[in-house]
Each structure stands twice: as structure tokens, then as C-alpha cells.
Amino acid sequence: MSALRIGVAGLGTVGVGLLTLLDRNAEVVAARAGRPVVVTAVSARARGRDRGIPLDGLAWHDDPVALAADPTVDVVVELMGGSEGPARALVEASLAAGKPVVTANKALLAVHGRELAALAERHGVPLAFEAAVAGGIPAIKGLREGLAANRIERVAGILNGTCNYILTVMREEKRDFAEVLADAQKLGYAEADPAFDIDGIDAAHKLAILAALAFGRPVDFKAVHVEGIRAISALDIALAEQLGYRIKLLGIAARTPGGISTRVHPCMVPADAPIARVDGVYNAVVAEADFAGRLVMQGRGAGAGPTASAVAADLIDIARGRFTPVWGAALAPAATVPMAQRFGAYYLRLMVLDRPGVIADVTAILRDQSISLDSLLQRGRKPGEAVPVVLVTHDCEEAAMRAAIERIAALPAVLEQPTLIRIEQG
């Protein structure tokens, strides 16, 4: 059988990793694909840069969109990133030309997934994106194929390695957020502008994709509630440990009687939960299905090797003629559950003046909102000085908790904005 000819747009970390994998593991890939998989054309911004791999004999296109019309390219691999610009133009042009597309671009899929899926289906070609979520973890195949016969109730995970690394180091070394972030930037784990990661946007893109797969609804990035980790302090991490929890940035999508809830935010999870023990740059995806039960997948969520591995897996499927519709099921609109309706327990930390009556005032406000306490933590006494007070609530509605916090923050003895972290079971 003739070789499957690949055009690669983007020769950054992942692009170079893919070319290295296809060269080094050529025999393995050919055996599993049923034919050779070879790169015939590439496109990148700087033609003369030394990328540490030979590019001799490959067609070079300064304009990546030209790959869509290149007769020596059977499949286009988009590894440039970004939800607009050349990446979107290339994917749209390739699908319209009847060429399969493999992409690692979570932003593109989260923002334009609905339109791209329709375009792929209209032209009868695959749009594959295993590498867009959780790097080398087969999360897409797990949900779309492995759990194809199941009704999925919930999917959650650690979806950003940068945030997980920062929170892990803060806990292990008892250091503050800003200091650990600076070190992560020096080590290359965080970008010079880390906002995309630490503000939760990257995780939200991935969660929007997972929610579409899990619940058969169109991708809806705007429906995802997003909070990052900037406000997490070393004090909160230490107090969480005292209470038997660890703090993780989680993406959570769940089916509820009122519709689909999708949210990304810091969570306290029990220290003995499997997801609590996923540390460093590792990712994890947890799926809860009616017949298969609870599945936990973990591994490296980024980097040249894991992401290139996921891209190559999609190429092997295409070479074999394995063609799964983009979302794996007919999409149907589903109501979005607003964050105000989230129901669960909460960790609330206050910095208050240590004087009589403060706790009584706080608990009275919680009582007025029908919020009951599971526990209260205050270490030592410092009359007249600022002290942390931690309250852990029983399950309640987010709207009630927000109303209570607004009143608590206005108390004269409360010295700074209260810190709220939601408690999840992982």
C-alpha cells in the first residue's frame, strides 16, 4: 500500500517532536498503520532556523495554507496554535479541499469546534484532535470510543501542567505563588506571559472539548466558568493540609437535572483521592460512566514526546481508514447550569481582628443564608491582631455562599477579601 503523506504546519516543540517520532519509530508506525507514514511538506515561520532535525527533501511552504492545495500531501497536521489566523485558515482550507486534518489546537476547537465539525462532516473527512487535550493521555479516545456504550455523568481533571506544577511546589516547599511562578518561568514550565495558563483559560479550552465529547453537545467555551490560581496563597495550601485536603486546579463538567455544568477553578480535594496525588507537570482525567464506573487516566499533559505521540496515534487511525465522527455522537443543545447553582461544600478563610463577637457575627450571616458549618479552625489567640479563621461548610448553593461573603466582607473586623475555595471529591 502507498505511504500516507503528511504536511506539517508548525515546527516548534511538538512539530519537531512529531518529525523525530515518525523517523525514529518509522517501522513501528508503519506496522501499526498498515503502510508507511512519511512527512513530505512543512511550513514554519523561520525557514533558516536550525531545529536539530534534517528537513532535506521536504517541500517548504512559507504560507501554511498552501499545504491544503499541495498534491504531495494527503493529511494536514496543524501544530501552530491559536484560535484564529493561519491555524484556522489552514484547517478550514484543508477540510474544504477534502483532506483529513490532525490538530493539537485546543483553542481552535474550543472556539470554532462546532463549525469545523460541520465542515469536516460535509466533506466526509476526519478532523482528529487527540493531542488537543491532556497530551499523551488518550482522553479523547477514552471518552469517544472506550466509553461509547456508556452514559457519562461527569468528567473532571487536572488539565494544565503549569498550574499543577506551581501548586505542587507551593505545597512541598511552602513557598508563595509569585516566587514559584518566577522559578517555573525560568525552568520553561511557564511562559513569559503566563496568563493563559494560570488564569485557567487553557484548562477551560480543554474542558469545553471534553464536555462536548462526554455529553454530545456542541462545544461551548463561553459557557465555561473560569477562575485561575493567582489568589491561592501558601497559607491556604498549609491550612488545606491541616484539614486533610490538597488544592488543585480542576476542570469539571457534569450532567445535572437542570443541564450541563462546566467550570474551571481551584478545588480542595481529599488528600487520599487519586487526583490529589497527581503532582508536578502531570495531568489527569477522571470519567464517571453508568456501566464502566469511574476511570482515572494520568500522564504528561504536554511536551514534545507525549503530544507527538497523540498526533501520531491519530495519523495511524487515518492510515487504517478508522473514521470516527468529530464528536462521536449527534450533537444536541443542552441547557447550561450557571455557576450560581453549584451545590457543594466550601472552604472559607477570613483574616479578622481577634476580638470578642467576630465569630458570632460571621456565623449569624451564614445562618441567615441557611449555610451550616462542618468545622471551624482558629489556631491560637492574638487579641487585637489579625488572625486567620477557617470555616468549612456543609453543602449549600453557590448563590447563598456569595451573598454571605458579600456581607461578611463588609464586617469591620474582616480585614481583607475572604478567600473561597470549593470542596470537591476529585
Quote the CA–CA distance of 201 and 319 in Å, as a whole number: 33
Q: The pTM is what?
A: 0.91
Cell numbers 459557557: residue:
223
Res 330: pLDDT? 57
Q: Which of 233, 9, 224, 225 is nearest to 101 (CA)?
A: 9
Q: Which grid coordinates belong to 394?
A: 456543609
Radius of gyration, alpha carbons of the chain: 24
β-strand partners of 60: 42
Count Cβ atoms below 10 Å from residue 273 Cβ, excluding itself. 17
Q: CB–CB of 146/296 below 8 Å?
A: no
CB-neighbour burial class of residue 43 (10 A; exposed 0-12, middle 13-18, buried 19+): buried
Q: Which of 177, 262, 258 is nearest to 213 (CA)?
A: 262
Res 329: pLDDT? 55
**CATH class of the domain defined by 139-300:** alpha beta
| Helix H or strand E segment including 262 | strand 259-270
Quote the CA–CA distance of 377 and 340 in Å, as a whole number: 26
Is the domain spanning 4-132 CATH 3.50.50.60? The answer is no
Q: Which of 371, 385, 344 is nearest to 250 (CA)?
A: 344
Res 190: pLDDT? 81
**Continuous H helices in 78-233:** 85-96, 106-123, 139-141, 161-173, 177-187, 195-198, 201-215
β-strand partners of 251: 157, 264
| Helix H or strand E segment including 317 | helix 304-320
Cell numbers 484556522: residue:
88
Q: Which residues are catalytic?
A: 206
**CA 285, 245, 414 angle in degrees (round to 5)?**
120
Res 216: pLDDT? 85
The size of the chain, in residues, is 426
Q: CB–CB of 233/419 below 8 Å?
A: yes
Question: What are the C-alpha distances in Å from 58 to residues 8, 39, 298, 411?
Answer: 10, 7, 36, 68
Q: CB–CB of 111/88 below 8 Å?
A: no
Q: Which residues are CB-neighbours of 154 under 8 A, at least 6 positions away?
A: 252, 253, 254, 255, 286, 287, 288
Side-chain half-sphere exposure of 44, counting CA atoms within 13 A: 19
Domain 339-423 sits in CATH at 3.30.70.260
CB-neighbour burial class of residue 102 (10 A; exposed 0-12, middle 13-18, buried 19+): buried
| Helix H or strand E segment including 296 | strand 293-300
Q: Which residues of 241-264 are buried (b: 16+ CB within 10 A; e: fewer)?
A: eebebbbbbbbbbbbeeebbbbbb
Averages of pLDDT over runs of 10 residues in the chain (426 residues) are 93 92 95 95 84 86 95 96 93 96 94 91 93 89 91 95 95 95 86 90 95 87 95 95 96 93 97 94 94 93 88 95 71 83 96 88 95 86 80 96 96 94 92
Q: Which grid coordinates belong to 316?
A: 495511524
Q: Would the CA dihedral through 378, 171, 245, 164 be positive or negative?
A: positive
Q: Any idea where the domains of the chain sit in the sequence? A: 4-132, 139-300, 339-423
Count Cβ atoms below 10 Å from residue 84 Cβ, excluding itself. 11
Quote the CA–CA distance of 9 and 42 in Å, as a whole number: 6
